[in-house]
Structure 1
Amino acid sequence: MKKTPVFLESLVTNMLRLRAICPFSWRVFQFRPISCEPLIIQMNKCTDEEQMFGFIERNKAILSEKQVGCAFDMLWKLQKQKTSLLKNAEYVRDHPQFLTLHNLATNKFKLMNDDTLVNVLYVTQQFDIKLLSEFSSCLADQHLYFSPLMGKIADIVHRNLETTQDLSSLSVLMVNISSLISRHFQQQLVNKTELLFDTIDSSEVNVAKSIAKFLRNVRYRYQPLLERCNNVFLSNVDHLDLDSISKILSVYK
């Protein structure tokens, strides 16, 4: 599994730190350009990623939060036109101007409304689901399990479940959205987890722990999946410290 670039992992933490500092004053006295239309029209004329990245490089100093959101939208629109989605997603994710766009999103975050923020997260997770996983964990750390943003994350997971292949990130998302989802969606997640379980290394205790925690949260004692998690725990017991063992045992309480 390809390691997520460090800049993607830092996006959500930095954005939520900004939100925590001044939650009620972001949208007061904001500077706005007179018109966003000309730059957005230029974006809409881009026919491939290279043109979009060239546009970002030329205009990075003047892009507003709305235009940053539109840039993410345009990249995803271009991505959907490709025949080899996985190969092209890797190209976009690793491009220097995607890092630039990420940095712009971080800097403009305090000016974004929730819909724009969720849309940025939705598009970015098409290139790397770990970003969405990190964001959901930041919300969970603030006990925002029932927030509208968490609900929208659950919807994004549901819409993209069929193509999701990263069980490590998915297992974290499963735990964080478990309070909001239907029985039918719970079963879909269990089925997907079973399909992906063999893709993880037998040493990935945290993934097994997240899966077991999800089953506990939704009160679903699905024995075949629990046994596979137990096998991961038992095969790694000699390498676990007391704190790790205690956390695993707490999942079964």
Structure 2
Amino acid sequence: MSKHYSCSCGEVYENTLCLPDFGTNFSAGSSMYLLRNPRSENTNIKSLVLVHGYLSNVQSVGDKYFENFLEVLAGSNWLGAVYGFSWDSLGIDTLITQVLWGALTPIALLRKLNVFSWPLALLNAYSNIVRHWESAKLNAKVASNFLPSLLVQEFCGHKSRPKISFLAHSLGAKLVLDAMSMHDKSKSLFDIDNLILCGAACGNDYDFANILNNIEGSIFNFFNSSDYVLGKIFAAAESCVPLGISPLTIGSNRVINIDCEGCGHSYLKYISKFSNNLIFMN
């Protein structure tokens, strides 16, 4: 069974990109959109699924996120289809979202709020961050439960067994790891190839050995020890060390750690690292 994609759901027609609506009416559910058709007629070609992190529910933010990734892929040797997996993190507070993205420092946030009582303002900012983080984390967990069924719906009609890789940023990395923790390749209709995690906003206590046993490729961990969002804000909201600030050491040559020192928590800076590392192998 094949699935037709119209321009409204993200397919590329003659190099014109039409992305899904990320407006205020964006559903709290999860959706997967075809962003770019495969560039080869090879039926064994791989597919790449992009998974965003904590996003503001502003259309321009979601549009730009996928557009930037596609710009990088356009200059790479990736021949397969590209999909965008969208989930609603309920990041409706734009200022808080900017802090969690690393685009705005906590000090700059206080200045934008134009407050005079710094201790009270700092407490309010912290409370808002934790509140939004808990809400987004819960939504990520819900979305991880929907991801497998969306993959089956999309790829079940392929003539050959599909091979799918994930490229996930921040809280999106947690979403993917939660989904892969439930993945059993012996019962699956498709193969999972590589997991590419960028600034992963999650703990490092997953059963990575089991995850590796159920995927065909490798785990790429793009980490940054100076990531303020993960090192400070994540640490304040969680009681564990985030995966995205240090190498993942589990004694496997299928785990590839890439140091992204200086990237902050910005996915734009992680993108520049993608272009310097030839990981998009067909």
Please, what TM-score do these two structures have when normalized by structure 1? 0.34
Greater share of strand: 2
Greater share of helix: 1
Task: Flag the structure with larger Rg.
Answer: 1
